[in-house]
Structure 1
Amino acid sequence: MERPSDLYDRDREWSDLVAFAVQGGAGTHLGLVRGRRRQGKSFLLRRLAAATGGFHYQAVEEERSQALRSFGAALGAHLSVPGGQLAFGDWEEAVRAVTDLQRNVRPALVVLDEFPYLLTHSPELPSVLQRAIDRSRDGGPPVRLVLCGSALSIMARLLTGAQARRGRASHDVMVSAFDYRTAAQFWGIPAASVAFLVHAVIGGTPGYRDLLPAKPPSRSGDLARWLAAGPLNPASALFREDDYLLTEERPLADRTLYHAVVAAIAHGNTSQGAVAAALGREQRAVQYPLKALEEAGFVNRHDDVLRARRPIYRVADPIIRFHHVVTRRDLARFEDRRTAEAWPEAQPRFATHVIGPHFEDLTREFTFRFADPATVGGHAAIVGPAVVNDAKARIQHQLDVVAVGRDHRGTTPVLAIGEAKHTTKRRTLADVHRLERVRQLLDEKGVAARDAKLLLFSVSGFDRHLLAATADRPDVELVDLERIYHGS
């Protein structure tokens, strides 16, 4: 099936959905499509429905009777019934109507978009779908049913635990934000330094481009102007995007609590204990909100690569982190459009809690997805942070990047260790010596790291002594922002 010409990237997602839509076999097959809002899920599914002659229904927030009427109107228009309207008394009738659709050549495609909206007033729908799917297995017409939603925790629960769809969905397609390289191309930003700053603020969400009328900055010095016209403009839809995103996840009912947890993490409290201390609560009191935020996709949990019992938490979405660090701390002035006053004072927070952590995230992504095996020392199976204790010196060494491999014997050698600090200073030989010391400590602890490569990441370059000393050292890799974006 030909790929739509107006579809940017999304090659794998399109291929997966086409494979599901034309999948052979009788009966109703179930597929899920999920992802945060503005990632292009509906855009993708509308084009799939158009290409297959399928039925696409976009649910909205309305009452049950209204939803049944609008569903009947949409299906009636699709089937070109006289009067253009089908009347359904309940969802049992509505589901039976779509699971009985028949096509001559290929299976009938049915898309229920923003499915969580329907669950708000019709919690019986999952059980209704279960019965319809099971009934169709006895020689029913081939129908490919797609449930799509932006509320990640609700969509995830459709496939977990005792939910009725467990074992019945043959496809589960996650539509995620663009990676940082694809995002730079999508926005048309060739300069790595500028693309990095833009990505630190809004990430790789493609739908944000339509919400920002101002062109992206062409140089770093234009960032303040672009922010004032977009994310920091109270008239912009992105000004309160963090609140909109949390509101969408209905299970996160206590928004004050969840905003407080996200704010604590965004300001550098990355362990469970640190989050609890920032909120003035006991550790056990933050376990549930942390887990709920993780399930909803707002927080990422990173286990220490070398010691799995030391998880750290990061805010997953750049726009949420940006607003909690920058906007919410000085909301009155930003709402009053006094950005010229407020932004300079916010820049230290921006540098420490937005740019710094984001640079670390990108170095790990580069190491895992884009770096050549020669750079990393092999094929990395896991990449993450770690903490290494130096008992003799009574200090802890923070490793921003640890790449672990997996060989044919099942062993997990450490391929590379690295440090990524976003500073204005050039990296020096002292940074390499520190990594050498950590490599030695790991070897002494019995970790297979004797041959680990040393990765030093920098946005400000490397001094001449470091360049000279490492020119002939195959175990040291100096990686700048240009290489992160355009090299391997």
Structure 2
Amino acid sequence: MDRDQQWATLVRFLARGEPALRIGLLSGRRRHGKSYLLRALTEAAGGLYVTAVQEEGRRPAQRRFAAALARFAGLPASAVELDDWQQILTTALELVERHRSSGTAPLLVIDELPYLLDHSPEIPSLLQHLYDDSQLGRTPGGRLILCGSAMSVMTELLSGSRALRGRVALDMRLGPFDYRQAAALWGVADPEVALRLHAVLGGAPGYRQLVQDDPPATVEQFGSWVQENLLDPDLGLFTRSETEHLLREDPRITRRTLYYDILTAVASGAGTPAKIGSMIGRERTALTHALDVLESAGYLRRDQDMLRQRNTVITVTDPIIRFNQLITVPYSDLLERHEAAAVWQASTATFAAQILGPHVEELARTWTRLFATREVFDGQPLGIVGSAAVHDGAGRARHEVDVLALAAGEQPRVRGGRIALIGEAKATAQRRTPGDLTRLERIRAVLAEDGHDTGDAVLAIFSLTGFSPDLRLLADQRDDVRLIDVNTLYGRAEP
């Protein structure tokens, strides 16, 4: 399911261009389905798929690669003996060229390339020479796709004066499913259950195969499901084990205690280097490298205010890491004694305030970015979506705007730009009231006073628990107000 756009791009990569060698990169976090996608592509194209193994030495890796070449050629695994990477790579390209399917370019896929680079860092330079010689017709052509989960390593392949810079025609990053696709993958019919499931696991499709139980059917079953599937140290998806696997993917993360401390601080609400340093007892300058590593690896994200220049806000990108740092890590000894029920009961407030609340805000921005154009604005495209802080001098207040969408073509932090949507998102137990609409009206007025064009701005209220009757009545009477409940977020009702 999904991946239609990525599949079409990969097919074009195989079908178009000169017969000379063309190189593509595919990167993405563990569990996002990279290998699944590339295996399907290789099978469809009649190509050769080879994967590296973590912590395997140079000679075992070469023997494994040579055995894969032999099997592809229909020979016994021991029939091919090569101990030189240039010979191995050249032979692989020659073999796929000989065994190519009609109507497609020869295809060689090397999965988990970073594992090979641990002991054979010369491989990119060898590929550079093969590429350059192929352009002159001296070595085989075809298509080569390099894949890896270590985001920093894959990104580094194209940086500065690296060997493959300027020689890669495809640079694809495979992200998680969006929250609606994730609900379809899990087969969850209840949007409230789907939202909570996404708040702890995100959209990584690989988790579906790791969970032993069917997803919960009701919100009441959700807590038991979490206890039995995510908080059991004997299971493969125990969140502590999964987080350790994720961090181990990046070779730069060696002192994992520091990285754990940073992730915990950010998950707890420390959104700047100064606040993170204060929470974990370190100077902010000592955190620069670790923060950069976590950001480039895709585990942290820096979000800039949409309206004004100020410090970026740092957040945890991956829901399962956030869940681990806030719930699993603080109660690790209890979980080792299989006291998952007690842990979940003690964590109810944390889950509601620090996981579910921020997640609803993020889904509100995602809905605005992906679905509001079609479901609210009649196909009129929106611009950049984010959040902002609005200073109300006259009202002596500072308003945090959860969702702010610019009109198409407008740039953030430029006075006078058109604002298309101003939104507030809440996951509290109380239904939203006309007071929330009054607050958004005040924010819209302050933005207009500051020189922004808010004449066509829609006011959107997102709520996990619904809206009071008087607020619904007000919204029904106005064209500039939208009430977005969980059903609307999941496309189950008209906004």
What's the TM-score once normalised by structure 1's chain length?
Answer: 0.95
CA change 1:373–1:188 in 2 (3 A) is closer
Shift of 1:400: 0.5
Which residue of 1 is the match for residue 486 of structure 2?
Answer: 481
| Ranges of 4+ aligned residues in structure 1 off by more than 4 Å | 407-411
CA 374–24 in structure 1, closer or farther in 2 if over 3 Å, else same: closer
| Structure 1 Cα separation of the partners of residues 294 and 131 of structure 2 | 32
**1:111 corresponds to:** 109
Question: Are residues 338 and 43 of structure 1, via their aligned partners in 2, closer, same or farther at CA, if it must alter by over 3 Å?
Answer: same
* Alpha-carbon distance in 1 for matches of 2:256, 2:281: 17
Alignment-mate amino acid for residue 438 of structure 2: H
* Alignment counterpart, residue 85 of structure 2, candidates 57, 77, 91: 91
- Which of 127, 131, 134 is matched with 1:133 structurally? 131
C-alpha displacement of 1:408: 9.1
AA in 2 matched with 1:443? A
CA distance in 1, matches of 2:375, 2:50: 49
Cα displacement string for residues 383-422 of structure 1 (whole angstroms, at most 9, x for unaligned residues): 0111111223332100000001234999841111111021
What are the residue-to-residue correspondences of 1:210-359 with 2, within 5 Å? 210-239=209-238, 240-359=241-360
Contact 1:368 1:383 in 2 (8 A): yes
1:384 to 383, 386, 392: 386
Compute the displacement of 1:129 (Å): 0.9
- Secondary structure at 2:395's aligned position in 1? coil
Once residues 11 and 316 of structure 1 are traced to their aligned partners in structure 2, the CA distance between those partners, rounded to angstroms, is 24
Q: 1:142 aligns to what SS in structure 2? A: coil
Task: Call closer, same or farther: CA 1:376–1:389 in 2, change over 3 Å.
Answer: farther
Letter in 2 for 1:40: G
Instruction: State the AA in 2 paired with 1:423.
Output: T
Identify if the C-alpha distance between structure 1 residues 277 and 392 changes in structure 2 by more than 3 Å, giving closer, same or farther. Answer: farther
Using the alignment, how far apart are the partners of 1:439 and 1:135 within structure 2?
Answer: 61
Alignment-derived partner of residue 408 in structure 2 = 406
Q: 2:382 aligns to what SS in structure 1?
A: coil
Aligned with residue 50 of structure 2, among 26, 46, 57 = 57
> Structure 2 unaligned runs (5+)?
none
Q: Are the equivalent residues in 2 in contact too, given 1:74–1:85 (CA < 8 A)?
A: no
Query: Residue 199 of structure 2 aligns with which residue?
Result: 200
Alpha-carbon shift at residue 375 of structure 1 (Å): 2.5
Counterpart in the other structure of 2:149: 150
After TM superposition, the structure 1 stretch with the greater mean CA deviation from structure 2, 447-456 or 30-39, is 447-456
The 1-side partners of 2:288 and 2:309 are apart by 17
The answer to whether the Cα contact below 8 Å between 1:57 and 1:112 also exists between their aligned partners in 2 is: yes
TM-aligned CA distance change 1:408 to 1:37, over 3 Å: closer
Q: Alpha carbons of 1:441 and 1:336: their partners in 2 closer, same or farther (altered >3 Å)?
A: same
In the alignment, what sits opposite 1:78? 72
User: What is the Cα deviation at residue 80 of structure 1?
Assistant: 2.2
Structure 1, gaps ≥5 residues long: 1-7
Matched, 1:456 2:461: yes
CA distance 1:374–1:445, shift in 2 (3 Å) = farther
State how far apart, in whole Å, the 1-side matches of 2:243 and 2:46 are. 36
CA distance in 2, matches of 1:311, 1:224: 34
* Structural RMSD (CA): 1.9
Query: How far did 1:226 drift?
Result: 0.7
Paired residues, number: 481
The answer for the alignment partner of 1:426 in structure 2 is: 431
Q: Is the deviation greater in 478-487 or in 305-314?
A: 305-314
Distance in structure 2 (CA, Å) of the matches to 1:412 and 1:447: 5
Matched-pair contact (CA < 8 Å) for 1:440–1:450:
no
% identity of equivalent residues:
40
Change (3 A) 1:83 1:210: closer
Aligned to 1:14: 7
CA deviations 1:155-186 (Å, max 9, x no partner) are 11112222221111111222211110011011
Match of 1:5 in 2: none
AA of the residue aligned to 1:455: A
1:479 and 1:26 map into 2 onto residues whose CA distance is: 51
Partner of residue 36, structure 1: 29
Deviation at residue 373 of structure 1 after TM alignment: 5.4
